Amino acid sequence: MDFNEVIKKRRAIRKYKKKEVPDEKLQKLYEAIKLAPSGNNRQPYKFLFVKDTEKRKEIVSKACHQDFLYDAPILMIACCEKGKNFDTAIAVENMVLAATNEGLATCYIGWFERDVVSKILNIPDGMEPCILVPIGYGDETPEEKDKKSIEELVSIIE
């Protein structure tokens, strides 16, 4: 897919088909994570791809009643060293756009109980789960959300 098309096509998807994602597609997502930039190239993050049904159920039960998450076959939890959310966000967006390019659906999920999810996944001290992303095949095609105008978002200083 053309790069601009990928950016335009991405949406927050909140309805998933109960359908597995092939490993070849996931490999593309892993590569997108690997290629992301980070401060001093420290890569202060770790990405957990949870396929196990019981673990996924446990995690979703801590995601503030966002029940659509139960249907996604994969939950990705991005973990980062404390204070390194910016580096991590870049790698996550690389992954999200790679997923869109593979015809997969995603949705950033910031609303979940980080402390409990941290325990469920045995995330080591010094690291924290910063965002959760369901990955799968979407079962809805939402319209583009209203966005601020370019003039509101961008100032040119000449």
Residues that bind ligand FMN (CB under 6 A): 11-12, 14, 66, 107-111, 145
Using the minimum distance from each CB to ligand FMN, give the nearer residue, 14 or 123.
14
Distance of CA 56 to the CA centre of its chain: 15
Using the minimum distance from each CB to ligand FMN, give the nearer residue, 145 or 148.
145
DSSP track, 44-91: -EEEEEE--HHHHHHHHTTSTT-GGGGG-SEEEEEEEETT-HHHHHHH
Q: Closest Cα partner for 91 from 136, 48, 62, 55?
A: 48
- C-alpha dist (Å) from residue 63 to 22, 49, 66, 75, 146: 26, 16, 6, 12, 25
Shortest distance (Å) from residue 157 CB to ligand FMN: 26
Shortest distance (Å) from residue 10 CB to ligand FMN: 7
Shortest distance (Å) from residue 24 CB to ligand FMN: 26
Shortest distance (Å) from residue 129 CB to ligand FMN: 13
Using the minimum distance from each CB to ligand FMN, give the nearer residue, 24 or 144.
144
Using the minimum distance from each CB to ligand FMN, give the nearer residue, 61 or 66.
66
Spatial distance between the Cα atoms of 15 and 24, rounded to a whole number of angstroms: 23
